[in-house]
Amino acid sequence: MTTLYTSDHEWLRIEGDVATIGITDYAQSQLGDVVFVELPKVGRSLKKAEAAAVVESVKAASDVYAPITGDVVEVNEALAAEPALVNSDAGGKAWFFKLKIADKSELGGLMDEAAYAAHTA
């Protein structure tokens, strides 16, 4: 399993041809208390950099972008019921959606953990 990051503060966990996507701890700390999450529909085809989900906090609403091209194969229904999971476990239980990867070459433009840490320093 590989974890990669975007400059927009999304993380991707790659397992085979599926990427699980969420927002980083840094992103949730900038947002503050998350009060609502809107997820994409299963079966939706997303293009790289397309707005895929929305996360709303007491401070602001922010889009979550598809870091790569693919089809949504699963969404995290737990976030609809308990959006505060994003604050308590952004890098774990609070994943947003899973994509079937359309083009693995798109992964080459993403950051590893060290590069992301430097990006947010």
Q: Which domains does the chain have, with CATH numbers?
A: 2-105 (2.40.50.100)
* pLDDT-above-70 percentage for the chain: 100
Residues 6+ apart with CB under 8 A from 16: none
Per residue in 33-82, pLDDT tens?
999 999 999 999 999 999 999 999 999 899 999 999 999 999 999 998 99
Q: Binning pLDDT at 50, 70 and 90, where does residue 1 land?
A: confident
Amino acid in the structure at residue 7: S
Residue 40 and residue 72 in contact, taking contact as beta carbons nearer than 8 Å: yes
Hunting for tokens 């598809």 — which residue is that? 66
